[in-house]
């Protein structure tokens, strides 16, 4: 035994680095009984080849310093967190989705835990796959939006992340430091008359009178957040708000003065990777201190590097472990400026430079009309708060964020999703000016963004009362749910809130259901009956009932709910042109008793009159009918009354969720393409216009009219959300099939909801009873996913 121990010791001793790495990790892990935080970095050349299109010109050369894509991966505090900053002018719309998805795959995390930002240098590429697609559809050359190099860069970053993860190092401490930067940033909007902008002071300014005007509102501070393994710095993140141009349109790709400053600091502190983020610099530039002479670039870089150095010297370090790391996200739905739609009619006449400034706004407008939001995020580590925000925010937002959390070290990275372009304050929209004239959002953005940042910062203070495992007492205090009894009270509240939107679930039942068999079809191993029965006086349910021909005692049963379509229940009998929907028939072939009812408005209920019934919504009528189907199953002597499940796709998918939440007799629920959080629901541009808004389709008579008449199609007013309703099913088994390309039920909202729901299942010691599958298809229920679903049902009911 001694020899074995000696061999192990010698192995680690001579391994050197491995021994040190192992020792460090175990040392950190021992702190406070918490898991260690691990950090890895990546650094990739983001300079395109000569001849490629930069944002405004064809590239003829690259500068002495290349463009970089740099970032960190944090592991240990839940799923990995990825932060990435790229020396490009902007990454917008669908490109943000693709970058985040790819980086998440490489890091073994989900896209909602990835932040991708640009520093906004102008002699650099732009990336927007939405714009690229729009141009190609209109037979316009893609120009600077050709995504060929961007797609290659994504692959290169993925490779670098995979290599970096293998060399992750423990983080024992985090450092925070700040200092003023002198004579770099100035406000562009200082020349006003009668409350209106007269002229702008740009990134460079040759007008001596404009340069002589006051600096204006800026944030003079540069903020540094550093990660340490004991005395060794691993990474330094810097945050400073200004447009990063000294001069541009050179056709030479270069990172301008922030890149030079970063290079100076990399030389000064070579062991750490230096990563720079641009703050809320939409209305900030170097114009007061920059006459455009080429020599000024070095001067600005030196001044910024000087601020970085002093912030580094001011750094205070704090011990951390996984308990100190928290990641919060928040959906941001900015209000649309309808003028953005006009770009589509004018783009055929635009020059390449005009297209560069306009296509991202059009792409964002279309995505916003389609229900797409922008996800903002906050990384909290100890006392530090890093906000990750979109567009060219005005500096007032950054200053407001710092005021919201005066006891925290707050830093902001803007220029995330570049689609919304300039985002001013309410006052700025009244003043006008270039940024406001080109903004695709409205003055109402200010209140929405302020609330968004306030929520992010509040949720990282561990006083978030919006989680599924908290509730507010009568005195308004937030209380954590600690017992199953408290959870059951919260579950009851969730169902009550749902009924505020859908109407009350009727309690009365009838004894004589008048079950009628009107037709039958015999197959190899089951017989399918066409039936109807009374759910309540004068309320008939029409359904298929599938009975196995060979049974060994009582059989498990499934309530199968169909998707939208005139065929109703026939759809899931595989008796319509819609393919990949035959799950009622397939479950019957597997030996289940299956009941498949028509939803009101479809099939034999196609002429259902929603206005004259007793229900406040078609949704509640559906729930009542579906509970009545379970009642019927329990009267059949060949059904095992304790083994009943529910399954559905799309319309049937969310109806399966609703009935399972209200009916505890349903032991397993499968939903395909059935849900996302309301904030993320994507009606599509045409549907949004047709139904009066993004949530308009939900407000039809056959669903929940109150969503429009009572809640004004405002997701924040709707008293329930899908994560709550699904959590009400716990601890019973739940499987969601949520395709990553489902344009109705956005996968971002599913992932966010999954994280919330999973905490409830964990709380109820039922983590193994919840599962979410993310197939790479669109709004569909393909064969392999159906088979996975049947296997899941089998585990519970067989």
Give the tens place of pLDDT for each residue, 420-441.
Answer: 999 999 999 999 999 999 999 9
Q: How confident is the model at residue 655 (pLDDT cuts 50, 70, 90)?
A: very high
Domain identity same for 7 and 55 = no
pLDDT at 26 over 70: no
Burial class (CB in 10 A: 0-12, 13-18, 19+), 274: buried
pLDDT at 27 over 50: no
3-state helix/strand/coil string of 121-150: CCCCCEECHHHHHHHHHCCCCCHHHCCHHH
Domain identity same for 638 and 783 = yes
Instruction: Show which of 394, 424, 459 is a domain's final residue.
Output: 459
Question: Is 752 a domain residue?
Answer: yes
Tokens of 634: 């329990």
- Rounded to whole angstroms, the Cα distance separating 413 from 452 reads 15
Domain identity same for 20 and 71 = no
pLDDT at 24 over 80: no
Question: Is 498 a domain residue?
Answer: no
Question: Is 245 a domain residue?
Answer: yes
Share of the chain above pLDDT 90, in %: 86
Q: Alpha carbon 411 to chain centroid distance?
A: 21
Domain identity same for 450 and 532 = no
CB atoms within 10 A of CB 82: 25
CB 333 within 8 A of CB 367: no
Stretch 107-128: mean pLDDT: 97
**pLDDT of amino acid 462:** 59
CATH number for position 679: 3.40.50.1820
pLDDT at 12 over 90: no
Instruction: Show which of 441, 459, 477 is a domain's final residue.
Output: 459
Instruction: Show which of 425, 443, 459 is a domain's final residue.
Output: 459
- Rounded to whole angstroms, the Cα distance separating 418 from 374 reads 10
CB 559 within 8 A of CB 666: yes
Range of the domain at 8: 1-29
**pLDDT of amino acid 358:** 96
Domain identity same for 22 and 67 = no
Of 399, 396, 83, 70, nearest to 223 (Cα)?
A: 399
- Rounded to whole angstroms, the Cα distance separating 571 from 657 reads 19
- Rounded to whole angstroms, the Cα distance separating 789 from 781 reads 10
Phi first, then psi, for residue 180 (nearest 5°) are: -75, 145
Please give the radius of gyration of the chain, using alpha carbons only, rounded to the nearest integer: 29
Q: How confident is the model at residue 133 (pLDDT cuts 50, 70, 90)?
A: very high
Question: Is 506 a domain residue?
Answer: no
- CB-side neighbour CA atoms (13 Å) of 104: 17
Parallel/antiparallel/unpaired status of strands 191-193 and 196-199: antiparallel
Q: How confident is the model at residue 33 (pLDDT cuts 50, 70, 90)?
A: low
Q: Buried (b) or exposed (e) across 357-375, using 16+ Cβ within 10 A?
A: ebbbbbbbbbbbbbbbbbb
Question: Is 562 a domain residue?
Answer: yes
Domain identity same for 177 and 321 = yes
Task: Give the residue carrying structure tokens 């597997």.
Answer: 590
Phi first, then psi, for residue 160 (nearest 5°) are: -65, -40
Stretch 235-240: mean pLDDT: 98
Please name the helix (run of DSSP H) or strand (run of DSSP E) that holds residue 224, with its range, or none: strand 221-229
**Contacts with 141 (C-beta within 8 Å, 6 or more apart), sequence order:** 135, 352
Lowest mean pLDDT among 232-241, 468-477, 529-538, 661-670: 468-477
Domain identity same for 24 and 40 = no
- Rounded to whole angstroms, the Cα distance separating 256 from 451 reads 34
Of 783, 773, 788, nearest to 739 (Cα)?
A: 773
Q: In sequence order, what DSSP letters do the residues of 377-442 get, joined into one string?
A: EEEEETTEEEEE--SEE-HHHHHHHHHH-TTSEEEEE--SB-TT-EE--HHHHHH--HHHHT-SB-
Beta bridge partners of 596: 544
Q: What is the pLDDT of residues 542-593, one digit of tens each?
A: 999 999 998 778 999 999 999 999 999 999 999 999 999 999 999 999 999 9
Phi first, then psi, for residue 224 (nearest 5°) are: -120, 130
Question: Is 482 a domain residue?
Answer: no
pLDDT at 478 over 90: no
Q: How many domains does the chain have?
A: 3
Q: What is the pLDDT of residues 492-536, one digit of tens each?
A: 999 999 999 999 999 877 889 999 999 999 999 999 999 999 999
> 3-state class of 296 per DSSP?
helix
Stretch 768-797: mean pLDDT: 97
Q: How confident is the model at residue 10 (pLDDT cuts 50, 70, 90)?
A: very low
Domain identity same for 401 and 417 = yes
Mean pLDDT of the residues in the chain: 93
CA geometry: angle 69, 70, 74, nearest 5 deg: 140
Domain identity same for 415 and 545 = no
Domain identity same for 20 and 86 = no
Beta bridge partners of 82: 73, 114
Question: Is 556 a domain residue?
Answer: yes
Domain identity same for 25 and 94 = no
Question: Is 589 a domain residue?
Answer: yes
Query: pTM of the entire structure?
Result: 0.81
Q: What is the pLDDT of residues 355-404, one digit of tens each?
A: 999 999 999 999 988 878 899 999 999 999 999 999 999 999 999 999 99
**pLDDT of amino acid 22:** 36
- Rounded to whole angstroms, the Cα distance separating 401 from 408 reads 10
Q: In sequence order, what DSSP letters do the residues of 345-377 get, joined into one string?
A: HHGGG--HHHHHHHHHHHHHHHHHHTT--EEEE
Parallel/antiparallel/unpaired status of strands 37-45 and 169-171: antiparallel
Strand ranges inside 51-210, DSSP E:
61-62, 68-76, 78-86, 90-91, 114-118, 126-127, 169-171, 173-180, 186-187, 191-193, 196-199
Beta bridge partners of 284: 187
- Rounded to whole angstroms, the Cα distance separating 165 from 221 reads 32
**pLDDT of amino acid 531:** 98
**Alpha-helical regions (H) of 512-617:** 583-589
**pLDDT of amino acid 464:** 61
Domain identity same for 60 and 204 = yes
Q: What is the pLDDT of residues 662-717, one digit of tens each?
A: 999 999 999 999 999 998 898 877 888 889 988 999 999 999 999 999 999 988 89
- Rounded to whole angstroms, the Cα distance separating 405 from 408 reads 5
CB 718 within 8 A of CB 500: no
Q: What is the pLDDT of residues 64-79, one digit of tens each?
A: 999 999 999 999 999 9
- Rounded to whole angstroms, the Cα distance separating 242 from 748 reads 31
Beta bridge partners of 593: 557
């Amino acid at each position: 035994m001694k020899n074995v121990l000696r061999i192990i010791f010698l192995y680690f001793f001579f391994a050197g680095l491995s021994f040190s790495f192992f020792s460090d990790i175990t040392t950190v892990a021992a702190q406070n009984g918490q898991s260690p935080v691990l950090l890895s970095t990546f650094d990739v050349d983001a300079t395109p080849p000569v001849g490629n299109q930069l944002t405004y010109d064809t590239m003829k050369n690259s500068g002495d310093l290349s463009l970089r894509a740099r970032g960190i991966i944090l592991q240990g505090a839940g799923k990995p967190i990825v932060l990435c900053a790229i020396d490009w002018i902007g990454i917008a719309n669908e490109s943000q989705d693709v970058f985040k998805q790819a980086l998440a795959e490489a890091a073994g995390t989900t896209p909602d835990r990835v932040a991708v930002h640009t520093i906004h240098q102008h002699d650099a590429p732009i990336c927007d796959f939405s714009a690229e697609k729009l141009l190609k559809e209109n037979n316009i050359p893609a120009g600077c939006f050709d995504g060929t190099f961007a797609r290659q860069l994504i692959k290169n970053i993925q490779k670098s992340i995979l290599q970096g993860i293998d060399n992750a190092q423990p983080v024992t401490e985090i450092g925070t430091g700040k200092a003023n930067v002198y004579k770099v940033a100035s406000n562009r909007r200082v020349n006003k008359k009668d409350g209106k902008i007269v002229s702008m002071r740009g990134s460079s300014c040759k007008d001596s009178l404009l340069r002589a005007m006051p600096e204006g509102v800026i944030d003079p501070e540069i903020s540094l957040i550093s990660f340490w393994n004991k005395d060794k710095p691993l990474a330094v993140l810097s945050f400073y708000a200004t447009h990063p141009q000294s001069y541009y349109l050179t056709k030479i790709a270069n990172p301008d003065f922030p890149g030079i400053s970063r290079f100076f600091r990399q030389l000064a502190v070579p062991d750490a990777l230096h990563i720079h983020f641009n703050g809320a610099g939409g209305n900030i530039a170097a114009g007061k201190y920059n006459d455009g002479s080429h020599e000024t670039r070095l001067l600005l870089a030196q001044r910024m590097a000087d601020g970085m150095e002093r912030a580094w010297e001011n750094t205070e370090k704090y011990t951390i472990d996984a308990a100190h790391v928290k990641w919060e996200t928040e959906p941001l739905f900015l209000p649309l400026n309808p003028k953005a739609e006009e770009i589509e009619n004018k783009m055929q006449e635009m020059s390449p430079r005009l297209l560069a400034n306009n296509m991202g706004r059009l792409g964002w407008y279309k995505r916003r009309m389609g229900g797409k939001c922008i996800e903002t995020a906050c990384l909290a580590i100890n006392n530090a708060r890093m906000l990750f925000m979109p567009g060219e925010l005005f500096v007032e937002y950054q200053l407001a964020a710092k005021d919201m959390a005066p006891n925290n070290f707050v830093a902001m990275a803007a220029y995330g999703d570049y689609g919304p372009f300039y985002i001013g304050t309410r006052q700025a929209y009244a003043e006008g000016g270039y940024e406001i004239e080109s903004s695709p959002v409205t003055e109402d953005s200010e209140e929405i963004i302020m609330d968004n940042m306030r929520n992010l910062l509040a949720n990282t203070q561990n006083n978030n009362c919006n989680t599924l495992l908290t509730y507010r007492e009568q005195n308004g205090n937030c209380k954590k749910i600690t017992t199953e009894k408290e959870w059951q009270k919260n579950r009851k509240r969730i169902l009550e809130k749902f009924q505020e939107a859908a109407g009350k679930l009727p309690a009365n039942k009838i004894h004589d259901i008048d079950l009628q068999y009107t037709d039958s079809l015999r197959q190899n191993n089951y017989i399918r009956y066409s039936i109807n029965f009374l759910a309540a006086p004068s309320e008939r349910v029409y359904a298929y009932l599938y009975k196995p021909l060979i049974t060994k005692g009582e059989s498990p049963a499934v309530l199968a709910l169909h998707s939208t379509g005139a065929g109703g229940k026939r759809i899931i009998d595989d008796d319509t042109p819609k393919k990949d929907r035959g799950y009622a028939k397939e479950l019957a072939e597997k030996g289940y008793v299956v009941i498949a009812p028509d939803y009101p408005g479809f099939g034999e209920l196609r002429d259902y009159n929603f206005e004259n019934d007793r229900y406040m919504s078609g949704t509640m009528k559906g729930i009542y009918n579906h509970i009545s189907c379970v009642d019927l199953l329990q009267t059949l002597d060949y059904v095992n009354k304790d083994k009943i499940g529910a399954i559905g796709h799309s319309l049937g998918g969310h109806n399966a969720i609703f009935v399972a939440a209200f009916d505890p007799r349903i032991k397993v629920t499968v939903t395909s393409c059935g849900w996302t959080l309301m904030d993320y629901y994507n009606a599509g541009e045409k549907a949004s216009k047709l139904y009066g808004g993004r949530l308009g389709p939900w407000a039809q008579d056959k669903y929940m009219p109150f969503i429009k008449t009572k809640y004004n199609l405002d997701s924040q007013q709707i008293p329930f959300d899908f994560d709550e309703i699904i959590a009400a099913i716990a601890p019973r088994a739940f499987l969601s099939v949520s395709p990553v390309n489902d344009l109705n039920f956005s996968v971002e909202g599913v992932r966010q909801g999954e994280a919330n729901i999973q905490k409830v299942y964990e709380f109820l010691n039922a983590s193994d009873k919840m599962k979410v599958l993310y197939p790479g298809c669109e709004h569909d229920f393909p064969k392999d996913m159906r088979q996975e679903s049947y296997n899941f049902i089998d585990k519970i009911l067989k």
